[in-house]
Homo-oligomer: A and B are copies of this chain.
Amino acid sequence: MDDLKVQALANFLKAIGEFNRLSLVYKLCQCKTPQNVMCLCECCDVDASVVSRHLKILAQEGIVKFDKKGRERAYALDRKNVATKLRDFANQIETDI
């Protein structure tokens, strides 16, 4: 396992491994439809700008994706990507040598 891949996985896990970001993930997990930032603000007790920044980090790591809809952004959890990465890692953990 080369350093770049280790770093990439670490970044992914670190992105979800923060309380407010994980709260956002769970919030989106319970939503059938994409949500805008204002709505997502309800789940963590911080400024909207903070939520915006957290969503940016989650988006960079492929944990959420979004569509621009007018002046709003509709965020959704990238369930497939997140689940796949977690399971791949779990398999490695149990499979290696």
A: which residues have CB within 8 A of B? Answer: 1, 6-7, 9-19, 22-23, 25-26, 29-32, 77, 79-80, 82-84, 86-87, 89-94, 96-97
Contacts and interface: CB of A to CB of B under 8 A. Distances in A.
Nearest to A30: B97
Given A17-B17, A86-B90, A87-B90, A96 B12 contact: no
Contact of A26 (B1, B32, B84): B1
Count of this chain's copies in the oligomeric assembly: 2
A7 B29 CA distance: 16
Q: Is the interface of A mostly helix, strand, loop or mixed?
A: helix
B97 A93 contact: no
Contacts of A30: 96-97
Nearest to A81: B93
A37 B77 CA distance: 39
A92 B29 contact: yes
A90 B85 CA distance: 9
A83 B86 CA distance: 9
